[in-house]
């Protein structure tokens, strides 16, 4: 193994996304003495320097006019050019929304094998082996790459980020050779989230399904989420019906999550939904159907009407947590 690059993303002016810290920690676990460099296409100096707390001494910041607006094609091209310049053989990134766009592009540009949705990594005499789920999470397979380079995309919220020091990383700049064709953007829209937590980053998630019967009943889910300091999630059926925004969708066609606690409210447990949340540490399911598939993966279950259970559960938790 010659050199590892970890693609990182800033969350705000002070920190990186949790998934970036997870990727930095995962890189440490397989490095075996190989140098690790973090690579970013945006972010403040303060945020990028925090990569040093997770064992990386150097951060490379790509700077170019074509990178002013996020474009997966431009980011992939910049990262590919830098990887070639240092002869890196492994590029690691989170399999979040942007990672899913960038990883396959890198694979083609570098003619490198792609290991997607990895949930475990090991270094066997310099060869990286990975474990990834298949068949909607019903089985797992071990995979490896036989190409000169390897792109590794990690399932978000599976690897535990470990802060191992207080030394800030040094930052250098890299100017890629980009043109307008590299920075193609289909559409850009800005959505104000009003401080809402992203399900991909949250440690606790309260999700609602078709059993909520309509958008007018989701305040019950939002209230419980507020009490727990949690993010609000939703099933595909709910999002398809227009009750909740797509950014809240949990599942195979939405976001894959692995929070400490996942509360499923009125969610039956379709295979595609289970594939996106079954790796949660603890799962609490609330459903009036005692035979609902969600109970097969739940650690705790409440069989009852969600409209009766949620207010009682919320009031009880408020008393326990806030007195």
Q: How far apart are CA 319 and CA 22, in angstroms?
A: 34
pLDDT (0 to 100) of residue 70: 84
User: pTM for this one?
Assistant: 0.80
Q: How far apart are CA 100 and CA 114, in angstroms?
A: 11
Residue 237 shares a structural domain with residue 291: yes
Write down the residue that tokens 């700077």 correspond to: 63
Containing domain of residue 117, as a range?
4-183
Q: What CATH number is associated with residue 233? A: 3.40.50.1220
Round the average pLDDT of the chain to a whole number and report it: 91
pLDDT (0 to 100) of residue 193: 54
pLDDT (0 to 100) of residue 97: 85
Q: How far apart are CA 155 and CA 175, in angstroms?
A: 30
Q: What CATH number is associated with residue 107? A: 3.40.50.620
Q: Mean per-residue pLDDT for 133-139?
A: 80
Flag whether pLDDT at 284 surpasses 90.
Answer: yes
Both tokens assigned to 64? 């170019």
Flag whether pLDDT at 207 surpasses 60.
Answer: yes
**Spacing of C-alpha 252 from chain mean position:** 13
pLDDT (0 to 100) of residue 185: 58
pLDDT (0 to 100) of residue 158: 84
Please report whether residue 190 resides in a domain: no
Question: How many independent structural domains does the chain possess?
Answer: 2
pLDDT (0 to 100) of residue 299: 97
Residue 179 shares a structural domain with residue 135: yes
Q: How far apart are CA 267 and CA 211, in angstroms?
A: 6
More confident residue, 96 or 267: 267
pLDDT (0 to 100) of residue 136: 72
pLDDT band at 186 (very low <50, low <70, confident <90, very high): low
Residue 121 shares a structural domain with residue 10: yes
> What percent of the chain has a predicted confidence (pLDDT) above 70?
95
Residue 252 shares a structural domain with residue 153: no
CB atoms within 10 A of CB 135: 10
Flag whether pLDDT at 78 surpasses 80.
Answer: yes
Flag whether pLDDT at 255 surpasses 60.
Answer: yes
pLDDT band at 137 (very low <50, low <70, confident <90, very high): confident
Q: How far apart are CA 143 and CA 161, in angstroms?
A: 23
Q: How far apart are CA 301 and CA 303, in angstroms?
A: 6
Please report whether residue 199 resides in a domain: no
- Radius of gyration, CA atoms only, the chain: 21
Q: Last residue of a domain, which of 117, 149, 183?
A: 183
């Amino acid at each position: 193994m010659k050199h590892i690059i970890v693609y990182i993303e800033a969350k705000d002016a002070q920190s990186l996304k949790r998934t970036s810290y997870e990727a930095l920690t995962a890189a440490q676990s397989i490095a075996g003495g190989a140098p690790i460099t973090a690579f970013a296409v945006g972010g403040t100096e303060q945020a990028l320097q925090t990569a040093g707390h997770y064992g990386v001494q150097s951060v490379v910041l790509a700077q170019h006019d074509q990178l002013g607006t996020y474009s997966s094609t431009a980011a992939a091209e910049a990262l590919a050019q830098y990887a070639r310049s240092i002869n890196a053989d492994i590029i690691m990134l989170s399999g979040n929304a942007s990672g899913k766009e960038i990883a396959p592009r890198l694979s083609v540009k570098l003619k490198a094998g792609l290991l997607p949705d990895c949930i475990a990594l090991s270094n066997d005499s310099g060869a990286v082996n990975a474990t990834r789920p298949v068949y909607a999470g019903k089985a797992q397979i071990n995979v490896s790459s036989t190409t000169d380079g390897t792109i590794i995309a990690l399932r978000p919220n599976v690897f535990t980020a470990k802060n191992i020091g207080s030394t800030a990383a040094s930052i250098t700049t890299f100017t890629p050779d980009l043109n307008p064709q590299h920075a193609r953007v289909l559409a850009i829209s800005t959505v104000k989230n009003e401080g809402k937590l992203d399900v991909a980053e949250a440690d606790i998630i309260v999700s609602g399904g078709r059993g909520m019967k309509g958008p007018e009943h989701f305040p019950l889910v939002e209230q419980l989420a507020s009490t727990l300091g949690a993010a609000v999630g939703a099933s595909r059926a709910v999002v398809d019906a227009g009750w909740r925004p797509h950014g809240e969708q949990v599942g195979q066609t939405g976001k894959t999550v692995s929070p400490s606690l996942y509360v499923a409210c009125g969610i039956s447990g379709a295979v595609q939904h289970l594939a996106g949340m079954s790796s949660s540490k603890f799962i609490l399911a609330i459903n009036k159907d005692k035979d609902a598939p969600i109970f097969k993966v739940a650690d705790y279950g409440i069989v009852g009407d969600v409209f009766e259970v949620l207010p009682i559960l919320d009031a009880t938790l408020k008393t326990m947590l806030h007195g």
